[in-house]
Structure 1
Amino acid sequence: MKRIFTVSVLVLFCSLFINAVFAQDVVVKGKVTDATTGEALIGVSVSLKGTTTGVQTDVNGAFSLKAPGNGTLVFTYIGYVASSLPINNQTVFDVKLKPEAKELAQVVVIGYGTQKKRDVTGAVASISGDVVTKQPVQTPTQALQGKVSGVQVLSSGQPNAQPVVRIRGTGSVLAGANPLYVVDGVLTDDIRNINNSDIVSVDVLKDASAAIYGVRAANGVIIITTKKGKAGAPVVSYDANVGFREAASTVKLANRQQYVDYLSVASPTKIANDDKAPLTIPGTTDWAAAVSRKAFETNHNLSVSGGNEKALYFISANYIDEDGIIKTNNFQRFTIRANNQVNVSDKLKFTNQISLSRNTERPVDIGGIYGNVYRAAPIIPAIVDGKYGNTSAWSNVGNPLLQLDKTNDFTLNNRIQGNVALDYNPIKSLTFHSAFNLDARFNNQKNYDYQFASDASTFTVGGGNQRRDNSSLFVQNDNSYQYQWDNTITYDKTFDNKHHLTLLGGIVSEKGRSNFLNGTRIDVPANPDQWFLDVGNPDVNAVDHNGGDLFTRLSYVGRVNYAYNSKYLLSASIRRDGSSRFSQKWGTFYTVGGGWVVSEEDFMKDGIFSNLKLRASYGELGNDNIGSSLFVITGTPYLPYYFGNTLVAGTVIQDIKDTNLKWETTKQLDIGFDCGFLNNRLTGEVDYYNKKVNNALTNIGLPGILGDPDNIYTTNAASYSNKGLEVSARWTDRINSHISYNIGANIAYNKNQVNKLNGGTFISAGGANGQTITRTDNGQPIGSYYVLKAIGVFQNQAEVDAAPPYTFTSEANHVGGLRYADVNNDGKIDANDRIFAGSYQPKYFGGFNFGITYNEFDFSADFYGNWGNKIYNAKKNSRSTENDNIEASYANSRFTTANPSTTDPATITSGTPPSTYFIESGAFLRLNNVTLGYTVPSAIVKRLGMQKIRMYLTSQNLFTAKRYSGQSPELFSTDILTQGIDATNYPVTRTFAFGVNVQF
């Protein structure tokens, strides 16, 4: 590092010395205007090429500086094409800058290479790093919400939770529906170690162009490129923000009086019991507030970059500290990155990129905590004088605050990610590239449960069943690595200024290995310094485990891109993949695409289009994201078996497996066009796609007589499809030299459907009170709700007597109870009367944004939303005992004699079956981010010895317009079949933060 810095300083010094000796300085003056409007441009950077000398234009667009007569002036301005003018001893310049057509010049990453946006034949979207860093979010995918058409992002309010990303719908059930991430060439499934401030761009491969990644690319590819050094003096940047988070919305639970009124109907015997009459218990508690807090967060990033023609460097360090809004929840991460490039010679280049991250987290069991928050009686105090209210003594659930305080879960994660690469150019048009990529993780987990009694030493009132007789410690160590060796040859050449040809060929090998070891002990001391397994005693109910995984892949890749006269485009790629995760190891994946830049035709030169490109692509991709031994038949050892009269330990094959498993294949057609109007101030894209998944893995039920303990058989017997339309548009303009603005919007329509499933056998999931909620079946979206049809509330006994009886629940027809439709008209209400009632998958989703800059001020706002999806409000039916609490809205609207509601029943019990009563609209529109910034004028900044100072205020999730009665319609879940069921989700958070960007 010191050597690179020293060399940089020496090179700069020598350059300045030579210029001073051989060139005579002159005073150069001039004015910079917009080439289209003629208006003066304020704040244009005017610099002397090869130096740090420079000024900015004033309010009249004028500039003046001293420079050598043989030097070159460089003019740069955001939104305009940079211009370089040799001085040639001139003293007066009249400079006209042209607005930049960014859509035409933009370079996107397409996998194992880059391509100009105008030459791309596939559906590829690109987001700049500036958009990512604008939002106070931990992962870059969270910043994609509402920015890219066809990409749905579901995030959690819990720190360190990886967002769920769906590109053009859900394409698998058992093999995973998450996209592949590629970070500077490293293939991974987790990008929570990436520092957002290090990102240059995020490119999304949405269509079959992702086939260059073959068996990994069925669900799309997100490519992240991080910053590199630039030649010149060292540049030091410091970015920081600090703020707090709170629940964006909360569910109001019944207060003391509402709860008592409800018990008089739901549990009249409890009210009549003088020993435990609610009115004799003095407490009143909002349990959601009792376990929550305003959470502090801070983010600091420091980087230095620079170099010369021989070596470039970029080094950064980042620290994040986030408290969760649930008490005791915390996350901290420290990341350092070094991206270096050394030009060994004119033909040989060496690069290395390495990221080291270390994070600690204290997670919480949100399911257990919120499962009790929703049900705990509000008449019990949370804590008094250090002692907890005894909710379990009220024949109710445990005290959720006690759950938090008496559990200490801790994880420590260390990760190394990066690569080393050599690029050799024997001739200008030919590049040999070899890169070794590594992603290694070393994790440690400790979960400690404190001992506590159910007597007065813990609770305000003794008794109940919430106690822990022994302390318990669980420890697990996980180690894993995955390496990838890429070797490619690229030939890139233009012939006769008309034919541009790029050829790529290569071989890629991968290997991944993981192992874990865990154990549990009881009676471990409460001192954290003694949290080791050998300090405690064996737990007869726990078993130590050791396991792991191993997989390999070998791939051959090829691609050709051809452009004729920048008008006619052709691309094709092929990848031959071999994977150890299937018995049928080899498969071939491909894509072909074509494009026509119509606006380059002579007959379009004077038309309304600045740019018009038609494109289409078709290809096949794969998915091998399954367990490595799913097709391997194994024996279960140490099972008792009588050999004659002797009992011995034997080994038995219990699992029935398909030994001919193969990967899922996705065939996708994409037809679209890109357009630009008014010198590309208005740009847009439209895409139609048809994506079909064949040979999808699914579980087939087996008769118990066959002996399989799970009674399932996993095989390639399903087919899914996603069809949709994506539309996006953006307007960018400058009103005058003071004001510029931009407006963007996108919307996507997607229809998900199960085409073939086990020859007609459905998959049920989402248990509630022993009854499933979703059914994945032919002709329906994945994870559709399959429930009874609620048609109102019984108003009187005559309606009860006339209604069909229930036959599958302990709940009988009664006045104030829910009525259900006898769909099949067989005179009874049973499971055969269930109907499909929507899905959590939205039919429409998208966003819009706008931004404006006025002199030194900038303001931006981003909106995100979806429509056409449903949510199953399972928490509304989470009552397991007669004393569980209810929601305040239901307490006010339920059926009573004085308020004979026709929609809400008098009571909801554990026997209330799943029905349309619990299904609500999931449509919402959220102000995802709003930011107000101020950039300190350059004259003041330079007097302070700096290059840039910007300050800003920002808010994430400021408000959400929704119809759903729950806390958030955005449900975070990794379970594909039950994602729309709202039972115990971590609250979505609202963030307020203040930040600074400083550059030296």
Structure 2
Amino acid sequence: MKVAVFMMFFCVFQLLASNGKAQNAVIELFSNSVTVETLFAEIEKQTDYLVVYSSRELDVKTKILFSKKKAKVSEMLDELLRNTNLKYEHTNNYIVFSKKVSESDVRQQTGRKITGTVVDNNGEAVIGASVHEKGTTNGVITDIEGKFSLEVADKAWLTISYIGYVSQTVPVNGKNHVIIKLAEDTKVLDEVIVIGYGSTSSKKMVAAVTAVKGEKLQDLPFANVTSVLQGRATGVIVQNQGGEPGSVPSVSIRGGGKPLYVIDGVITTDDWEFRTLNPNDIESLSVLKDAASLAVYGSRAADGIIMVKTKEGRKGKTSIVYTFNAQFSQPTVLADKIDSYTYANAQNQAAMSDGHGEYHTYSKEEMDIIRNQSDPLKYPNTDWFDLGLKNFAPEYRHSLSMTGNRKDINYYISLGTFEQGSLYKSDALNYSRYNLRSNVNTTFEEIGLKVAVNINAAYEKKKYPSFSANTIWDHLNNKKPLELAYNQDGTLSSISDHPLMEMDERSGYDKNDGLYVNTQFVADWALPWVKGLSFGTMLNYRLNSSHVKGLSARAPQYNQDGTLVVVTKPSLKEEAYFGDSYSLELNAAYTQTFAEKHTIDAKAVFTVSENNGSYFWASRKDYLSATVDQLFAGSSIGMQNSGNSDEGGRMGLVGRLKYDFDSRYYIEGSFRYDGSDNFAPGHRWGFFPSVALAWDITEEPFFKNLNLKNVNLLKLRGSYGQTGTESGVNRFGYLSTYSLAENAICIGGNLQSGFNEGALVSPELLSWYTRNSLNYGIDVAFFNHRLKGSADYFFYVTKGGLVSPADRYVVPLGTALPQIKSENEHRREGFEASLRWDDKIGSDFYYEVGTNMTYYNNLYVKNQGEALSDLKNPYKRSTHQTDYYGIMYMDNGLYQTPEQVLGVPRRLQSSATKLGDIAYEDINGDGKVDGEDQVRWGMPSAPHFTYGFDFVLGYKGFTLSGLLYGTGKRNMEFGVTTKKNEAIWVLNDYQLDYWREDNRDATFPRISLEALPNGSNNQAASTFWVKNASFLRLKNLTLEYDFKYKLLRNVKWLSTCRANITGANLFTISNVMDYFDPETTSTNGGYPVQRVYSLGVTIGF
């Protein structure tokens, strides 16, 4: 926390710094004669001013002849408004136009004074909104706090308007004060989207990019930003990894590998900085998917980019916002466990299935004792879930932010904490995260310079049991009810894999603390004397460190006679890592419009980065006691330690040129010249270009002549490009390497320390291999942009790649084969689409509904590593095949008659199959079932088809929002304990549906007392155990009320006050929910996916 305190003081010092007030800015036009629209665009481009006007009062298509091309903004505006009834006012950095109030209008007023405040959906002040008395020219604009004061007639109506928002007309009705909430007008807004090394508008977008607004990611009961993305961004596939505290889902873009993350322009190849982001700090998020958007980031962007822009300071009154969420979670699926009597009865039925008598395992007398619980020490009835689990796991989130400006310095500062507990009754498993962010910027208008200093830090604390959370859950889930948990004296019993012992805080721990601090300096200089030309730089320094400490110990267990169970003595291991990196970016940009129709936008970037890391670990064992958990307290006999360091560097040149003709035709070309020290000198550089085209048909004169008012956008897009990849490349594979080993050489019959030679040097000088991508897209908007949609087809081809030449060369004695280039070819193609409708009914009700979907598949054109035997088998080979779940036998149901047992071919490894065992198909009809009868089957568990439905309903301060997320066919297999079909593993109620004479239409095969009955016949990989795990899930549902809408609208010192109740993973439709959660990555008993309930409140001042 010392780091956090230091950075907070640093932020304060930044705020206390002062800067001289900007003088009246000077702009230069390309011609003396321009439209009003062009003038405003140049003012906003060349200065920090934003222009606010009403299109009803000012025709921006009018051409004005100015006396000179270069002048002060105020001089040009005076010329513009000469001989008009309009005026303009400066409010901070806003230039607001409104009508002059005539004397007749003043005389018509009765003297009633009404005051009010205009705010947006988030309760933030709308600065410069126009407030007019309907039917007159009497009006004002709102100040920096969104407030206004106006003299109106008694029965007047007020019309409130602001660009980008839906206008409202409300009656005064004798009121003296009103609060007006303006909703965003999607018919007017052209969303700004952050892309690589810049930004663009949604209308001018030529690449495949999905944008998500930061407000969509807030106030949701998920542990990290990654989870929130699921179902919200087209092309992004998020797969849950379970519900363990601190766990993070896996992410892919269009089914590719791990994406690259770019946060405020800084590249990071791991997801640490992204997953630890405070969602409330995010302004916007963009997902870059095709070569047109990825090429500028080169090799590391081959699998897509998730780009984040965090919030910045803004001019206006200081605003402080505090958010609190209390969350409670429980498993989405928790199987009903059977009691001891049912368990014992299953053992007896298994004995009968094996040919034994009715009471072979437990006698009739024992069954009566178990049923009556007359001897609970010998025949207990243990409810392991009740002993080990709480009803709910607690989670708490706090977020505090401050934004505003002081002496021309804009600032955004935030603090956040997140604490996540577990379901275990002990405190052995928990996760905490602490965030700090400071984004400070200022502008020197007279020289066109904008400077920003950003600091971001996160500190994570993970505490796990030494036995791991998943191991404990596995043991807790698979313990038998007839196993004793506690002895009569209350001590832990002596059973093996005792989950209550494992979660006991005396049984050691694994603590993992991680810290990263990211500092960033950004400067952008728009040259005042060269219109459209700017230079910029970004310098970033990042440090990250982690400390892992693991104490392996066991809480004491006792036999029933009171003797202590002898166990291995405690041991301790510590690991430490420190890494830092820097990156420098220099860029130049030029933007210019010629003859009002031709716009070019050019950018050149030079980047260089370097990273360093060092790692150390040490361990000792045979501790006399686990009380002193320090390395010195362990035995020096057998102690171990090791360490290493690494460094790396990259360099790149980026170029991009965009041309726009009359907002109709767009062409964009970009490239990156990338260098990596993974390759030998002379082979380190790769050139990766892309080109993109777009045609906005709605801007064509012929289309406008059709007068299709309900068609607002019809844009066709296409892109082709190439990205490099170095995935799987061994560093310094072009050099001979040696390693020091304790047992490197044998001298005189004794092993001695020495050097080992590494893998052989590749006979080829390796370099980049490439991925080519093709993307076609269409963007549409109808009915005044209330209905918007897009669709894309994508196609990727990856050629080359590195493999071990084991099929070409004999492995030499004592070393490994080098990597060589392969002739592999892999294709991935698919499509994605999204559609959204938003509208308002009356003045009180608004709604949004949207849907999105993504589908992809892989085709292995050539797989050089495939075994020759598989390649010859058309049912098993992967070459020229799309994705599948696995290679397995096709089941033919369960044997139901003796004739089937004798007449149906069985696996060669199976023996003495019986009624109720699994029968398999003889695919090739050769009268036997062997490896040649195995086939490709099913779809991978990673979903290839995903979809989402989201909605927002708002009415008089109430907002109801939700998201449904689902997948197409994906297959998952039952866990090992279920597949064993041993009677001792029949622990869940659903497992009682096993085959027996009176239950022939059973879900599971017969059970047996044998460990692997019938030559493991029923345990073979087959379609019998694989289920369709597709699902549709209500990911979240939120009901929120805004108290400022009515109850607290007159409380002036309170800018925001909202409360919400939210649920996550509330219900699921799936074929496998009776057995396991379809989103889990393990059906063998890992820590489960959670259902979450949340209460939240947001207060702003």
TM class, shorter-chain normalised? 0.7 to 0.9
User: CA contact under 8 A between 1:186 and 1:439: conserved in structure 2?
Assistant: no
Amino acid at match of 1:653: E
Provide the rounded CA distance (Å) in 2 between the counterparts of 1:907 and 1:669: 53
Residue 378 of structure 1 deviates from its aligned partner by 2.1
1:962 aligned residue (1062, 1067, 1070)? 1070
Given the superposition, is the C-alpha separation of residues 904 and 539 from structure 1 closer, same or farther in structure 2, using an over 3 Å criterion? farther
Q: CA deviation at 1:958?
A: 1.0
Give 2:697's match in structure 1, choosing from 582, 598, 614: 598
Distance 1:263 1:564, change over 3 A: same
Tell me the amino acid that sits aligned with residue 725 of structure 1: F
The two structures have a TM-score, normalised by structure 2, of: 0.78
User: How far apart are the structure 1 equivalents of 2:482 and 2:516?
Assistant: 47
Q: Does 1:244 align with 2:328?
A: yes
Contact 1:378 1:885 in 2 (8 A): no
Letter of the structure 1 residue corresponding to residue 431 of structure 2 = F
- 1:925 corresponding residue in structure 2: 1032
Specify the code of the residue in structure 1 equivalent to 2:379. Answer: P
What pairs with 1:394-793 in structure 2 (closer than 5 Å)? Answer: 398-405=497-504, 406-426=507-527, 427-452=530-555, 455-456=558-559, 468-524=567-623, 530-538=628-636, 540=638, 543-583=640-680, 584-605=683-704, 606-607=707-708, 608-626=710-728, 629=731, 631=733, 632-638=735-741, 639=743, 641=745, 649-653=753-757, 655-656=759-760, 658=762, 660-698=765-803, 701=806, 706-707=812-813, 716-758=822-864, 760-761=866-867, 777-781=878-882, 784-793=885-894
Q: Distance in 1 between matches of 2:207 and 2:740?
A: 52
AA of the residue aligned to 1:917: F
Q: What corresponds to 1:388 in structure 2?
A: 492
Which ranges in structure 2 are unaligned for 5 or more consecutive residues? 1-10, 23-89, 96-100, 119-125, 132-139, 170-179
SS of the residue corresponding to residue 706 of structure 1 reads: coil
Is 1:914 the counterpart of 2:1012? The answer is: no
How far off is 1:871 after superposition? 1.0
Higher relative contact order, structure no. (Cα contacts within 8 Å, ≥ 6 residues apart) = 1
* Equivalent AA in structure 2 for residue 588 of structure 1: F
Residue 261 of structure 1 aligns to a residue in which SS? Answer: helix
Greater C-alpha Rg: 2
SS in 2 for 1:828: coil
Aligned length: 932
Distance in 2 between the 1:77 and 1:62 partners?
27
Alpha-carbon distance in structure 2 between the residues aligned to 1:516 and 1:739: 58
SS of 2:1080's equivalent in the other structure is coil
- Offset, 1:193: 2.2
Name the amino acid aligned to 1:185: G
Query: In structure 1, the residue corresponding to 2:284 is in which secondary structure?
Result: strand
CA gap of 1:289–1:834, structure 2 versus 1, over 3 A, is farther
Q: Verify the 8 A CA contact 1:44 1:56 in the aligned structure 2.
A: no
Report the equivalent of 1:178: 258
What is the aligned partner in structure 2 of residue 767 from structure 1? Answer: none
Please tell me the root mean square deviation across aligned C-alpha atoms, in Å.
Answer: 4.0
Q: Which amino acid aligns with 2:551?
A: Y
How far is 1:519 from its partner? 1.8
Larger deviation: 637-646 or 843-852?
637-646
Task: Check 1:178–1:5 CA distance in 2 against 1; reply closer, same or farther (3 A cut).
Answer: closer
Q: Work out the CA distance in 2 between the residues paired with 1:120 and 1:625.
A: 30
- More deviation, 599-608/278-287: 278-287
SS of the aligned residue for 1:937 comes to helix
**Residues 231 and 947 of structure 2 are in contact (CA less than 8 Å); yes or no, is this contact kept in structure 1?**
yes
- Answering whether residue 1085 of structure 2 is matched by residue 993 of structure 1, we say no
Contact 1:561 1:569 (8 Å CA) reproduced: yes
2:226 to 132, 141, 149: 141
Distance 2:524 2:600 in 1: 20
> Deviations for 1:49-86, whole angstroms, at most 9, x for unmatched residues?
5532515999x999899xxxxxxx98449843899xxx
What residue is the counterpart of 1:163 in the other structure? 249
User: What is the rounded CA distance, in whole Å, between the counterparts of 2:154 and 2:386 in structure 1?
Assistant: 57
- The 1:400/1:681 distance shift into structure 2, 3 A limit, reads same
> Is the 1:795–1:902 contact (alpha carbons within 8 Å) kept by the matching residues of 2?
no
CA shift, 1:579, in A, is 1.2
CA change 1:45–1:812 in 2 (3 A) is farther
* Superposition deviation, residue 681 in structure 1: 0.4
Which of 935, 943, 946 is the matching residue for 1:842? 943
SS in 2 for 1:303: strand
Deviation at 1:163, TM superposition (A): 1.9
CA contact (8 A) 1:941 1:949 kept: no
Contact 1:412 1:443 in 2 (8 A): yes
**Correspondence for 2:437 among 320, 332, 337:** 337
| Pair 1:527–1:472, CA change in 2 (3 A) | closer
Offset at residue 212 of structure 1 (A)? 1.2
Instruction: Kindly indicate whether residue 199 of structure 2 is the aligned counterpart of residue 114 of structure 1.
Output: yes
How far apart in 1 are the matches of 2:521 and 2:822?
Answer: 39
Matching of residues 76-91 of structure 1 within 5 Å = 76=162, 79-80=165-166
Q: Give the CA deviation at 1:31.
A: 12
Letter in 1 for 2:846: S
Distance 1:807 1:707, change over 3 A: farther
Q: Deviations over 1:337-389 (max 9, x none)?
A: 10011224532222111111112111352442233234321222434664334
In structure 2, C-alpha distance between the alignment counterparts of 1:266 and 1:627, rounded to whole Å: 53
**Residue pair 2:598, 2:661 contacting (<8 A) in 1 also:** yes
Deviates more, 1:787-796 or 1:100-109: 100-109
| CA gap 1:118/1:29 in 2 versus in 1, 3 angstroms | same
Separation in structure 2 between the aligned mates of residue 919 and residue 79 of structure 1, nearest angstrom: 53
Residues 206 and 220 in structure 1, CA contact (< 8 A), matched pair in contact too: yes
Counterpart code for 1:968:
D
Among 285, 288, 291, the residue aligned to 1:202: 285
Q: CA deviation at 1:936?
A: 1.2
Asked whether the equivalents of residues 616 and 670 of structure 1 are also in contact (C-alpha less than 8 Å), the reply is: yes
1:87 equivalent in structure 2: none
8 Å CA contact 1:525–1:531 kept in 2: the answer is no
1:867 to 963, 968, 982: 968
Q: 2: distance between equivalents of 1:544 and 1:763?
A: 45
Local SS of the residue matching 1:377: coil
Contact 1:57-1:63 within 8 A present in 2 as well: no
Distance 1:402 1:967 in 2: 26
Task: After TM superposition, give the deviation of residue 756 of structure 1 in Å.
Answer: 1.7
Moved more, 338-347 or 610-619: 338-347
Shift in Å at residue 261 of structure 1?
Answer: 2.7
Please say if 1:806 is aligned against 2:889. no
| Equivalent residue number for residue 208 of structure 2 | 123
> C-alpha separation between the residues in 2 aligned to 1:217 and 1:286?
51
User: What is the alpha-carbon distance in structure 1 between the residues aligned to residue 640 and residue 156 of structure 2?
Assistant: 77
The alpha-carbon distance between structure 1 residues 854 and 356, as it changes in their structure 2 partners (threshold 3 A), is same
Unaligned stretches of 5+ in structure 1?
34-40, 66-72, 84-94, 171-176, 393-397, 765-773, 973-980
Q: Give the equivalent residue in structure 1 for 2:54.
A: none
* Counterpart position of 1:227: 311
Q: Quick one: which of 938, 945, 958 aligns to 2:1053?
A: 945
| In structure 1, distance between residues paired with 2:738 and 2:235 | 45
The 1:169/1:81 distance shift into structure 2, 3 A limit, reads farther
Note closer, same or farther for the CA distance 1:604–1:526 as it changes in structure 2 (3 Å cut): farther
Match of residue 90 from structure 1: none
Instruction: Name which of 296, 299, 303 aligns with 1:212.
Output: 296
Instruction: Indicate the residue corresponding to 2:50 in structure 1.
Output: none
In the alignment, what sits opposite 2:25?
Answer: none
Aligned ranges 1:37-52 → 2 under 5 Å: 48-52=141-145
* Deviation of 1:863 (Å): 0.6
For the residue of structure 1 that corresponds to 2:203, the secondary structure is helix
